[in-house]
Amino acid sequence: MKYDFAVIGAGPAGYVAAKKAASAGLKVVMVEKKKLGGVCLNEGCVPSKTLLQAAKTYHHAKHGSIFGVEAGSLSFDFGKAHAHKNSVMDRMRDGIAGLMKKHKVEVIEGEATLSKGSSFTVNGETHEADNILLCTGSSPTIPPIPGIEADHIVDSTGILNIDTLPKNLVIVGGGVIGCEFACVYASVGVPVTVLEAMPEICPNLDSEIAAILRKELEKKGVTFQLGAKVESFEGKSVRFTLDGESKNMDADLVLVATGRRPNVSGLGLEEIGLDFDPRGGVKVDNRGATNLPGLWAAGDVTGQAWLAHAASRMAEVVVHNINGQKDQMRHDTMPAVVYTSPEVAVVGLTKEEAIDRGFKVKTGKIPMAINARYIAENPGEEGMCKVVLDADTNRLIGVHMVGGACSEMIFGATAMLETELREEEIAEIVFPHPTTSEIMKDVFMAVR
Amino acid sequence: MPRQGQSVESCILTEWKVQPGDTVAEGDVLAVIETDKASFDLESTASGTVLELFWEADDDVPVLANVIAIGAEGENIDDLRPATESASATALPATSSTPESSAVQSTVAADQSPASAPVDLSTTSHVPSSGVSPRARKKAMNLGVDAETLVGTGPGGRVIERDVDAFLAGTPRLSAAARVRAKEQGLEAPVRGSGIAGMALASDMRQPGAIEGAEVEPVKGIRKLIAERMMQSLNGTAQLTLHSSFDVTNCQKYRKKRLADGESKVSINDLIAQAILAALQNHPEMNAHFLGDRLAVFHEVNLGIAVDSPRGLMVPVVQEASKMSLEMLSSEIKKKAIACREGTIQPDDLSGGTFTLTNLGMLGVENFTPVLNVPEIAILGVGGISLKPKKNEEGEVSFVDQISLSLTIDHQAIDGAPAARFIQTLVNHLENHPGENPQKIEGEE
């Protein structure tokens, strides 16, 4: 068949691009080898957030006494939480299928192989398309540690299929994924140990924000071993070195969360001469164009951002460019969230990144605890809001928050960054009272 | 269009109050018109049916031109149409047209200046500071634009509504930070920025006159000078280039012999410079300046040598080269070239040339047409060495090293044949007497 636009991969880049292109009148086909929705819906954002909400609900019930809520005999049925998770996923997948049908996007189940000249093969049939979007996502990386193939050692995809609580959980890797699962299990009473090789968790975050997150997770019962290097797994034992000393601990369940890698193999990409970046992702420009004419890429397969919303935006940019509308990615204004309790939400540059880029920097930070709504709703929880400004223009270039449900207000900061608002303009914006969002106004009082 | 005062040459018809087909009575308001001082109602001077509107709203209408035809249905109104009617009249209901189209149409109207207009508007438009029309001022104020700073396209350069519209249509949306850059650093925004929906961001702001995808620098210093001199040369002279070449064999032999004899090393370029001096002795008319109404033929040769310096093309002059031995000439050329490259050349050494030598042979160029170093009337370009077939007296063909020569002359001052004879002498010297002092060459004519 001949199509105007082919999408390889049905994740948050793929289905957004397919829908958008079809709405613009293109004849679109979308190929998916597993399930609609990609990593986000099936192995990432959606299932993990459902379990996090389950854990949060349990945690609130258990710690409600400060509000006068005493919840007698409390129990947690992990199986039920998983059932809810599965029903949410089913519903979302049906939603995507319906959306594709509504927009007359043809969906083919199967593995695509690309060949030269804008054609690809699925299930033995060859198709052609004027433009092809490659958005095959990413998979968890598995480091070459001896003994890692044991059954009780899982990655972030595997752990989502285990609906019983382990006696204890050891997490290798204190990044975003590691922290989110640590939060789930610790909140429902499972002892959790995180082994992180770096001196602080979530090394991409502002270090003060990361430290607050770590302390809050410690309060929930997570033990962090920073600077720990895992050497081997022997039976149920995890061997690691810490400060030059060899240590041992038993683990009922081990989660390996050491990062993700782009899904680039088995697609015939080397054969058609596609360029890759040094980290193994498909190399794209700020429009999503690869080095091959008519071939575009978006999302995790490019090795950029590793975020569902970034993937969707990249896909949107690609479709705009295919339709002759000028558009480009602006990764510097891409928000990112860690969905732990408390949440971390950031957008823009950290102070260190800004200085590296040659900005003259001003910063301001205030504890969330100065905000009435915050202390009312999050008693005893530490939080912080930090802003980074370009001292030359007074423009806001970075916002870093930890505390409560701050993910819900980071879009406001994103809008400020996208429109390059300055301290002066932000000062005129009215924030509703009493909301936690007022922190975004008050933080400017602390800017030096 | 009634005359609204002695100095008013035209009025803006800002709004039609009637449409074709309407019935009007004498004294009814037909349209609103404005001058740079006030706004008026245009009242009907006749009763009847509106047959045609000759102008669109916002048109700049010369005084005394017909604006509307009122009469009985079916009446012939061809004679009433103003000369520019085709450009701007409409039989359709007058609707407010888009800023672009009204600007275009009105410009056409102004340029074609109706026969009935007392002045030619095209000569008076685009003159700044002739005021702002009330309508334009109101619109500008509403939109936060300073109307006084706009370029007016109304009569006498008056700022009218379309100027405000055109300004807004061509204005990129600036982020708050970009606006600060624009104001404080005098930077300019591209038409489309890299921000949200094309908003110009602080990082998009660039020096005025910047071009996307290019580094733009002002033309100044030596580049500006070269540019001026080159254009002066190509605009002010009648350049003709003659191409020839010479067999390098004897030059090479001569250079080898010098080395064998323990004499100083000279380059082919030095030998060519010396040959020029020799040839000029026999063709002094080539050693001249063309000054329009006078031709100055010089006694001595001040030989200019084109040098590629880090600052650009420079032409130092070996003064009185014609008095020099080959060794001295060679050493002078070298000294001057080094001084240019090091930036220590004296201004006096960059002027007074009477003939110029330029050599691109070492860069692999085979042939080129040199540009005259005015007011000199000749410049010799030297290309690289290439193999060429040559037939000897017995008719045998062999390959020899040849160097191409390109002589550009100012045909205003000298003709092709004498220039060709100069090249003949030059080639003869290089092929048969390389390195010999000019004095030894016999005259050929």
pLDDT at B96: 39
Strands B317-318 and A260-262: unpaired
Which residues in chain B (197-216) have CB-CB distances under 8 A to chain A?
198-199, 201-202
Give one DSSP letter per residue of A108-172, joined into a string: EES-EEEETTTEEEETTEEEEEEEEEE---EEE-----TTTTSTTEE-HHHHTT--S--S-EEEE
Are A361 and A345 spatial neighbours (Cβ–Cβ below 8 Å)?
A: no
The dihedral region occupied by B61, where left means phi > 0, alpha psi between -120 and 50, and beta the remainder, is: beta
> Percent helix, strand and coil across chain A, each rounded to 5?
35, 25, 40
Categorize the per-residue pLDDT at B116 as very low, low, confident or very high, splitting at 50, 70 and 90.
very low
pLDDT at B126: 38
Tokens of A238: 């995890």
Enter the ipTM: 0.76
> Measured between CB atoms, which of B177, B194, B196 is closest to A395?
B177
- From B198, B199, B201, residue closest to A326, measured CB to CB: B198
Asked whether B115 and B145 are in contact (CB, 8 A), the reply is no
What are the tokens at A195? 């082994």
Beta-bridged to residue B68, according to DSSP, are: B53
Residues A37-58 have pLDDT tens digits of 999 999 999 999 999 999 999 9
Look up the CATH superfamily of B221-440: Chloramphenicol acetyltransferase-like domain (3.30.559.10)
Contact A368, A378 (CB under 8 A): yes
Tell me chain B's radius of gyration from C-alpha atoms.
36
The model's pLDDT over B310-350, given as tens digits with 9 standing for 90+, comes to 888 889 999 999 999 999 999 999 999 999 998 888 878 88
Task: Collapse the DSSP code of B147 into the 3-class scheme (helix H, G, I; strand E, B; otherwise coil) and give the result.
Answer: helix
pLDDT at B105 > cutoff 60: no
Q: What is the pTM of this model?
A: 0.64
| Mean pLDDT of the region B292-301 | 94
Q: Tell how far CA B348 is from the center of its chain.
A: 30
Residue B272: its H or E element: helix B268-282
> What is the nearest CA distance from A445 to chain B, expressed in angstroms?
20
Q: How confident is the model at residue B56 (pLDDT cuts 50, 70, 90)?
A: confident
Tell me what pLDDT residue B3 has: 76
Residues B408 and B334: their CA atoms lie apart, in Å, by 24
Calculate the dihedral angle through the C-alpha atoms of A326, A329, A334, A336, rounding to the nearest 10 degrees: 130
What is the mean predicted confidence (pLDDT) over B390-405? 92
Which string of DSSP letters, residue by residue, matches A259-293?
-EEE--TTS-TTTTT--B-TTSSBP--TT-B-SST
Q: Count CB-CB contacts under 10 A for residue A61.
A: 14
Q: Where in chain B is the domain with CATH 2.40.50.100?
A: 10-99
Predicted local confidence at residue B97, as pLDDT: 39
Q: For each of the domains in chain A, give its residue range(s) and CATH number, in order of start.
A: 2-139+261-331 (3.50.50.60), 153-258 (3.50.50.60), 342-446 (3.30.390.30)
Active site residues per annotation of A: 433
Question: CATH 3.30.559.10 residue ranges in chain B?
Answer: 221-440
Residues of B within 8 A of A330 (CB-CB) are: 194-196
Question: Which chain B positions have a beta carbon within 8 Å of A421's beta carbon?
Answer: 175-177
Q: Which of B192, B194, B199 sits opposite A419 (nearest CB)?
A: B199
Residue of A nearest to B183 (CA): A393
Rounded CA separation A6/A127 (Å): 9
Q: In the structure encoding, which two tokens stand for residue A28, read together?
A: 């679109």
Which tokens in the block code for residue B200? 């110009």
**Residue whose token pair is 């109207």:** B109
Q: Do B192 and A395 touch (CB under 8 A)?
A: no
The DSSP 8-state label assigned to residue A100 in this structure reads: H
Give the containing element (helix H, strand E) for A230.
strand A229-234
**Cβ–Cβ gap B180/A394 under 8 Å:** yes
Q: State the DSSP code for B370.
A: P
Q: In chain B, what percentage of residues exceed pLDDT 70?
A: 85
Interchain pair A420, B198: CB under 8 A: no
Q: Report chain B residues whose CB lies below 8 A from the CB of A422.
A: 176-177, 180
Q: What average pLDDT does this structure show over B277-303?
A: 95
Cβ pair B14, B34 in contact under 8 A: yes
pLDDT at B106: 36
Chain A: closest CA distance from residue B186 (Å): 14
The string of pLDDT tens digits covering residues B83-104 is 654 444 443 333 333 333 333 3
Tokens 């077939």 identify what position? B389
Give A202's DSSP letter. Answer: S
CB-based contact, A394 to chain B, within 8 Å: yes
CATH for the stretch B10-99: 2.40.50.100
Which regions of chain A are under pLDDT 50? Answer: none
Confidence of residue B439 (pLDDT cuts 50, 70, 90): low
Query: What is the pLDDT averaged over residues B374-399?
Result: 93
